Structure 1
Amino acid sequence: MKSGFKKWIGLALPACLALVVAMSGCSKTGDTTGASGNGNSAAPAGAKQEDKYDKLPKDVSISMFDRGQVSSDEGTYEENRWVKWIREQSGINLKVVPVPRNQAQEKLNVLVASNQAPDLIWEYDRNYIGNLVTQGVIQPIDEYIDKYSTSYKKYLQENPDLKPYISFDGKIYAMTTKRTISTIANHGIWIRQDWLDKLGLKTPTTMDELIAVAQAFKDNDPDGNGKADTVPIVGYTFGDVISAMFGAVWADWYLEDGKMKYGPTLDRYGDALATEKKMYDLGLLDKELFTDKDNSRTKQLWTTGKAGICMCQWGGGTVQVMNRDLMTNNPNALLAPLEPVSTKYGKYGTYQETPAFIYVTFNKNMKNPKAAIQYLDWIMDKGWFSLNFGTEGTHYKLVNGIPQKTDNDKFKKEVLYASEYGVLRPLIEKAEDWPIKAAQDPLSQKIANLEVKSLNTVLKNKFRRDIPYQPNVIEINEAKASIRKTIDEIRAKTVTQSGYTAEKALEDLRKEWKRLGGDKAEQLAQEWYEKNKSNFK
């Protein structure tokens, strides 16, 4: 092991030492308190009590987001080099159950309803985990962590601020690790700086200025091909970015004069809809905005240089690939991260995540929770690093203790898809490490430096989150789940149909919310807030 690697596994080493101590202690004391399962007398002093899970196969299944990133010659999400590596290194017979990323919760719900859900079900969304709790799909895991875990148990003791996020009704229902800065930052905005420069435009800072810039991108042929074929604004997070800049995203509760109110019922949400509609009516948005379910249209327009503003994510993953393809296709394209613009309500940042990362839960019907804990402890100790960075000498080399990509194309093909197999990761990062981690070719370095700027731009603009996490109450979850489809339908109708106003849309949303039990949900949300607010930082 190279000395520089030590700083990357500083959290894992204490866990390993703890394991050695624990094993040493077990060899001396044993377990003398329990009777054997076959009705015989208590085990002799010093004998280790048999664990019922030790006789079971070490089979564990886990859900996985299918993002379409596994090439055919790599295999599938179920079977590839990394799944094989996991089985060999962890000693666990892992089965992967992929679900499409943009339909993950719907597909998981189908698997649950048909009793085909995997042992480990994970999501980024705490609200969804709360739904699984209230439905009785998943089980508390306090006992499993206490009895079988070494690494994760120690990590949770060292990071007690994570406990409220994974606890429901006083019990722990998930395992998680802290988000890094690159995963706290989520949505972001990119703009063609070369288009701004060519048209002599200033960077927009208000919503009105943003609309004016988009109009200029539409009318003034910024790509210089003599055709009116540019699309000013694209983006697979477009609606979320707009509503975040108005401080009213669809999923969240807000404190209005000390009262808990649901985001889509607020005046601010109505104004966000009105802004989307105005942009659409002016021809500033792609007409396929609501039918581009797999984001292929957004990717096509951006990477071929036909779009001027992308409301997507701050960088990494899909966006990094999109930006790379754009700059490969058009080496003269200049990109810049764009700060969120202000509205009449002030300036709010784009969506950012809470401190807890992936929530890994245990299906109540799983056969071997001990094997699941052993697998997740292995991920914490060793697995996460290789699943994120690949193989040393093949995909990276260590530079000042930081894994530096040696071949971006090889990494993209062979490693990029593997990161989410490492569902727990005690990684600590700094924005200035990006150029060191990236491949050293000029294009990779250019993208890395752009992403440093983008990450800093996103993080300096605070996303409006009035409460640290959302209430988990059955009636509230049911009301929100029931109205979700209506919100999407009304938003699409508002934006695309000329005779349907944002004012009417907000009125209809409020009526539907009331019909679905919104008044009761608000009462329960208020009670929840009063009960829990002393725990909020």
Structure 2
Amino acid sequence: METRHKMLTALTTAACLLAGTGLTGCSNPGADEHSALPGNESSATEADPYADLPKAVSISAFDRGAVSSDEGTYENNRWVKWIREQSGIDVTMVPVPRNQAQDKLNVLIASNRAPDLIWDYDRAYIGKLITQGALQPVDAYIEQYSTSYKTYLQEHPELLPYLTFDGQMYAVANARTTDGIANHGLWIRQDWLDKLGLKTPTTMDELIEVAKAFKEQDPDGNKQDDTTALVGSTVFDTYAAMNAAIGNQWYLEDGSMKYGATLDRFGDAMELEKQMYEAGLVDKEYLTDKNFQRAIQLWTTGKAGIFAGSWGGSAMENHIRNMLKNEPEANPVPLEPVSTKNGKFGLYQETPPNIFVAFNKEMKNPKAAVEYLDWMVDEGWKSLVNGEEGVHYKDVSGVAQMLDAEKYKKEVSYAGEYAVVRDAKFSPEDLLVKAAPDEISQRLAALSQKGLETATRNKFRRDIPYQPNFTELNDIQTALKPFIEVIRAKVTMQGSQYTSAWGLEEIRKEWTRLGGEDVEAMAQEWYEGNKTDFK
């Protein structure tokens, strides 16, 4: 127990130092480590309260519609069975729709039907669940039961500030590799540019002119007015990022914390959205295309010239693969984000931690949960990401080279959803090594490599490493999000009486009505208290 006690002390102290917590939350770390373990309050020699419980854990999974009917469902398929056999844990998958994940999880939590392990990419969402009392700290469980993840965390101390809330560790995560840091990307039909004699756009004005040409000058050559300039799954995020105005992100303006949706630059993003929509340069249904199926269809059938989505990787490669089946002569290439009147900024990029995996407060067996995460970070993730050696991949100098792209897509690609923590290594050159040896797979891998280079060339503006978390902010964000969506829709679709200036003013008024000025003051106090620890 002495070794374990020292480990918890070191982890907690490191978290406090890195996260800038005060003495109250971090005094004498580990002194009461057993009090955090239900049923283990009286002494260190008591029997393990979870030793005789069934090794059963439930965990959320994003349903992206990627499991074919002959593979099964997200709840029951070859990989879920494999996980149970290999981990020794009776794991139950609880799928939630990717684009409504938080809403679905909120419903499950409110009805006491939430899984034991809840995960999301959004640290602020985890913070919100903490303030609601839905989650529990994981420090003591990691110290008591973990081996592999504890070692991983020692090797990646940079993760601790992101995992720590109010002096306690509330989540686990792995560090993103470069391909995970890069997220959004732009793609453009180079063959359309060449056919119309156009140069690659580098400014917003040039991008709009190219978009008009793609709409009006019959770039697909079928003599019909049936092309759309811009489609994708991240259209407004792209407008906002290029103007450094992500709506739910805090920015430092002359040393003052300001909420993104209240900035003039956010008004500029709405104005661009309105301009593109009214000129017919985007799909008229994109605001209601919640699952992005129509956008993907327009792109893959060769009816769109610019796609706002991922920098590359399996999702984008699949979209381009499907496009080339329909349009063999198409030549999609990565497009660097263009400059705006506000400057030149990269598209959205992630913070160092990958997904945040948190423990439901009502979890019955946290020991089994930790053992599951240990197995996953140690070895489980590899097969879930790569498939079965000799069937889906072969080992090439430590890199898993795909054997058959179509077989992998059908039988393995969805399994990565279950690899919630992984100890992966990556270099851009690996993309070509990992790809199947056929010509199209190698072409797509080369495009992904170029897409990664393009996506990371311009730094995404992130003024603070992670967002503040407190109840008042969480409440106002929850209330403001649907309001902003309604305002954006009015500005974009309902004519000249709803200008972007009107929309921004409405958002600012609602921000104030909800208590935004007080929240802004609290965010400023939080920043002043933590800024010395930001790197």
TM-score (norm 1): 0.91
Mapping for residues 51-200 of structure 1, pairs under 5 Å: 51-200=48-197
Which AA in structure 1 matches 2:499? Answer: T
Q: Does 1:222 align with 2:242?
A: no
Could you tell me which residue of structure 2 aligns to residue 515 of structure 1?
513
Which AA in structure 2 matches 1:513? Answer: W
CA distance in 1 between partners of 2:428 and 2:404 (Å):
21
Which AA in structure 1 matches 2:472? Answer: E
**Among candidates 421, 432, 456, match of residue 429 of structure 2:** 432
Q: Does 1:533 align with 2:531?
A: yes
Mapping for residues 435-514 of structure 1, pairs under 5 Å: 435-498=432-495, 499-514=497-512
**Among candidates 396, 399, 403, match of residue 402 of structure 1:** 399
Q: Does 1:323 align with 2:323?
A: no
Q: How much does 1:466 deviate?
A: 0.5
Q: How much does 1:50 deviate?
A: 2.4
Which AA in structure 2 matches 1:512? Answer: E
Could you tell me which residue of structure 2 aligns to residue 277 of structure 1?
274
Q: How much does 1:90 deviate?
A: 0.5
CA distance in 2 between partners of 1:294 and 1:152 (Å):
34
CA distance in 2 between partners of 1:149 and 1:527 (Å):
36
TM-score (norm 2): 0.91
Which AA in structure 2 matches 1:185? Answer: A
Q: How much does 1:317 deviate?
A: 3.1
Q: How much does 1:520 deviate?
A: 0.6
CA distance in 1 between partners of 2:327 and 2:236 (Å):
28
CA distance in 2 between partners of 1:406 and 1:269 (Å):
46
Could you tell me which residue of structure 2 aligns to residue 388 of structure 1?
385
Q: Does 1:266 align with 2:236?
A: no
Q: Does 1:234 align with 2:231?
A: yes
Could you tell me which residue of structure 2 aligns to residue 244 of structure 1?
241
Could you tell me which residue of structure 2 aligns to residue 4 of structure 1?
none
CA distance in 1 between partners of 2:102 and 2:58 (Å):
17
DSSP 3-state at the match of 1:427: coil
Q: How much does 1:42 deviate?
A: 10
**Among candidates 307, 312, 331, match of residue 310 of structure 1:** 307
CA distance in 2 between partners of 1:397 and 1:323 (Å):
24
Which AA in structure 2 matches 1:528? Answer: W
Runs of 4+ aligned residues of structure 1 deviating over 4 Å after TM superposition are none
Which AA in structure 2 matches 1:208? Answer: D
Could you tell me which residue of structure 1 aligns to residue 199 of structure 2?
202
Which AA in structure 2 matches 1:367? Answer: K
Q: Does 1:353 align with 2:350?
A: yes
Deviation string, structure 1 residues 289-335 (Cα, Å, up to 9, x no partner): 11111111001100000000001111123222111100111110001
The number of equivalent residue pairs is: 497
What are the ranges of 5 or more consecutive residues in structure 1 without an aligned counterpart? 1-17, 19-33
DSSP 3-state at the match of 2:334: strand
Q: How much does 1:186 deviate?
A: 0.6
CA distance in 1 between partners of 2:154 and 2:180 (Å):
22
Deviation string, structure 1 residues 253-300 (Cα, Å, up to 9, x no partner): 000111000001000000111011111111101000111111110011
With over 3 angstroms needed to count, the CA separation of the structure-2 counterparts of 1:42 and 1:263, relative to structure 1, is closer
Percent identity reads: 61
CA distance in 1 between partners of 2:264 and 2:63 (Å):
36
Deviation string, structure 1 residues 469-498 (Cα, Å, up to 9, x no partner): 000011111111110001111111111111
Could you tell me which residue of structure 1 aligns to residue 14 of structure 2?
none
CA distance in 1 between partners of 2:223 and 2:154 (Å):
63
CA distance in 1 between partners of 2:372 and 2:463 (Å):
36
Deviation string, structure 1 residues 418-444 (Cα, Å, up to 9, x no partner): 002110011110111111101111111
CA distance in 1 between partners of 2:291 and 2:332 (Å):
24
CA distance in 2 between partners of 1:401 and 1:60 (Å):
32
Which AA in structure 2 matches 1:206? Answer: T
Deviation string, structure 1 residues 87-130 (Cα, Å, up to 9, x no partner): 00010000010000000000000000000000000000001001
Could you tell me which residue of structure 1 aligns to residue 333 of structure 2?
336
CA distance in 2 between partners of 1:42 and 1:245 (Å):
56
DSSP 3-state at the match of 2:171: coil
Q: How much does 1:49 deviate?
A: 5.2
What are the ranges of 5 or more consecutive residues in structure 2 without an aligned counterpart? 1-6, 8-33
CA distance in 1 between partners of 2:127 and 2:46 (Å):
35
CA distance in 2 between partners of 1:49 and 1:84 (Å):
35
CA distance in 1 between partners of 2:278 and 2:419 (Å):
44
DSSP 3-state at the match of 1:65: strand
Q: How much does 1:219 deviate?
A: 1.0
Which AA in structure 2 matches 1:501? Answer: T
CA distance in 2 between partners of 1:238 and 1:349 (Å):
14
Could you tell me which residue of structure 1 aligns to residue 26 of structure 2?
none
Which AA in structure 1 matches 2:498? Answer: Y
